[in-house]
A and B are shown apart, each in its own frame.
Chain A
Amino acid sequence: MLVLNTVGKTYPNGVHALERFSADIGIGEIIAIIGGSGCGKSTLLRAIAGLDRATSGTVTLDGEAITAPHPKIGIIFQEPRLLPWLSVADNIGFGLSELPPALRREKVALALARVGLTEKASAWPRELSGGQAQRVAIARALVPQPEVLLLDEPFSALDAFTRRDLQDHLLDLWADTRPTLVLVTHDVDEAVVLADRVLVMRPRPGRLFEEIKINLARPRDRQSPLFDNFKRRVLTALDRSLDRSVPDADPKSTAGEAMWW
């Protein structure tokens, strides 16, 4: 159980990035955090990862406070961040250096097969496409079998087709060991396709605005009316979080409202 208790972050330069964010995230749950830019999504994720320390509140995993990177928590960044001087296989095995070599090789081979890159095992990262590189990054984060996997806009740099492909692939991998996933995204489609719960945040300072449960069985059909319905709900919440007019309101009346004086 991952518990975020009134997590807040004020940067040394005075920027108030995150205020009193609380959430209880169950084991194996998939959470999507969505919000406009500057609403503290990444700040929150970095606090959970232990890369940055929250200035107030606590992050606890199974009762243990997280103040530094933790072996049970893995993270995937927006960029693959592969080490260019290691082969694909060595990149995947990077977090397994304590294991005996034979066991490490075995685990790496398994992970390579699982992400469909067995034939790229000895390739250099520079020889991979963007989607392949991100798959290696996913394998690298998953191979130590974390209980919680954090994803910071992991597919935002990819083209639409590759993105969908990887979203399905991620769900597939998630089903193996069912870690808790916390995904930061700005893609409504991605949030609804993956998450059990979507947490909508609002900016300045970043805080929780609304929580939307996605009660849809997996695999989810992106074309179904129900899917569309959830998407619209998330979009509406997002719009309200940014103090924009709701999309189905009459644009004329709001324009008039703004000019009444």
Chain B
Amino acid sequence: MTVELPALERADLVESHTPNRLRRYARPALGLLLPVGIALVWELVVWLGLSNGRLVPPPTKIFATIMELARSGELARHITATLTRVVLGFGLGVIAGTVLGAVSGYWGVARRLLDPTVQALRAIPSIAWVPLFILWLGIFETSKIALIAVGVFFPVYLGVMGAILSVDRKIVEVGRTFRLSGPAMIRRILLPAVLPAYVVSLRVGLGLGWMFVVAAEFMGASEGLGYLLIDGQQLGKPAQILAAIVIFAILGKTTDWLIEIASAPLLRWQDAFSRPGGGA
């Protein structure tokens, strides 16, 4: 009996560990099933000669194009150009959106003064600014960064203002009963309360930043991933277009993920439906 017990325990352990490990790796893998499956099928279709794959090149061809661009150093140059524009535009848009959003969220007079104008400007499709920006700021970097910043500004502004306006009055009252000064109230009550919505608005803003960098690079650029797209279209190189799209996807997902992991330690307290480990 005593000899058998450890064996039993071990069997128990093994049994309880396997499903856990399976779940840990199987879940992300599930998300890969569809895109990888489609890629494999298309590869097979072209390989079998059912399609010539000229307009829709198979994955191996796209991958080869990316490798070729990488080898010649072209890829690094284009990525750097695009990334620099996004980072600068995103940074400016976030700063402006945060400051103005905070001012009009916190201060009623500023909101009544500022918000109608900002809302009216928001109704203008951002691309409509392109001709004006080119006239004002020239065809080079400044106008591109300005366009991206405008795209990023609005969701951040709205997110910050809305978040401040919706901070629970009851929680603010707790701060009042402990006689927090204005700055202490902002630091200890408002900032943490606003943070979850702020992170969401940053992620939305970043998404728009990536969208507008393409628009900006369409309007005459000599480098950047958007230039690769236009170049691929004009020279009839669909593989190059798809290569640029794939890289956009990777960069967009990576930068979004960076915001997510940077904010995760600050948001552990959230009682949310889709908390990691909370099922769903």
Contacts and interface: CB of A to CB of B under 8 A. Distances in A.
Interface residues of A, number: 21
B192 interface: yes
Interface in B173-230: 173-174, 176-179, 184, 188-189, 192-193, 195
Given A69-B178, A95-B178, A81 B173 contact: yes
B178 A84 contact: no
Given A69-B179, A71-B179, A81 B269 contact: no
Contacts of A97: 184, 188
B170 interface: yes
Contacts of B177: 49, 51, 69, 74-75
Contact of B271 (A51, A68, A94, A126): A126
Nearest to A49: B177
A39 to B, nearest CB: 22
A126 B176 CA distance: 22
Interface string B47-90: 00000000000000000000000000000000000000000000
A83 interface: yes
A71 B176 CA distance: 11
Given A69-B178, A94-B178, A126 B269 contact: yes
Given A69-B178, A71-B179, A95-B178, A124 B269 contact: yes
Contact of A81 (B170, B188, B192, B195): B170
Given A69-B177, A74-B177, A95-B178, A85 B170 contact: no
Given A74-B177, A86-B269, A125-B269, 5 more contacts: A81-B173, A83-B174, A84-B269, A124-B268, A126-B269
B258 interface: no
A124 B269 CA distance: 6
A81 B176 CA distance: 12
Interface residues of B, number: 18
Contacts of B170: 77, 79, 81
B270 interface: yes
B185 to A, nearest CB: 12
B109 interface: no
A49 B178 CA distance: 11
24 contacts: A51-B177, A68-B179, A69-B177, A69-B179, A70-B179, A71-B179, A74-B177, A77-B170, A77-B173, A81-B170, A81-B173, A81-B174, A83-B171, A83-B192, A84-B269, A85-B192, A86-B269, A94-B174, A97-B184, A97-B188, A124-B271, A125-B269, A126-B269, A126-B271
Contacts of A68: 179
Contacts of A81: 170-171, 173-174
A93 to B, nearest CB: 11
Contacts of A74: 177
Contacts of A83: 171, 174, 189, 192
Contact of A51 (B173, B195, B270): B173
Q: Which of A94, A97, A124 has the most CB of B within 10 A?
A: A94
A254 B189 CA distance: 55
Contacts of A124: 268-269, 271
Nearest to A125: B269
Interface string A50-80: 0100000000000000001111001101010
A85 B269 contact: yes
B62 to A, nearest CB: 45
Nearest to B192: A85
Contacts of B189: 83
A71 B269 CA distance: 29
Nearest to A75: B177
Given A69-B179, A71-B179, A84 B174 contact: no
Contacts of A75: 177
A124 B268 CA distance: 9
Nearest to B174: A81
Contacts of B270: 84
A227 to B, nearest CB: 33
B47 to A, nearest CB: 53
A235 B174 CA distance: 33
A124 B189 CA distance: 16
B183 to A, nearest CB: 13
B196 to A, nearest CB: 9
Nearest to A76: B177
A142 to B, nearest CB: 13
Closest 7 CB pairs of A and B: A126-B271, A85-B192, A85-B269, A95-B178, A69-B177, A81-B174, A124-B269
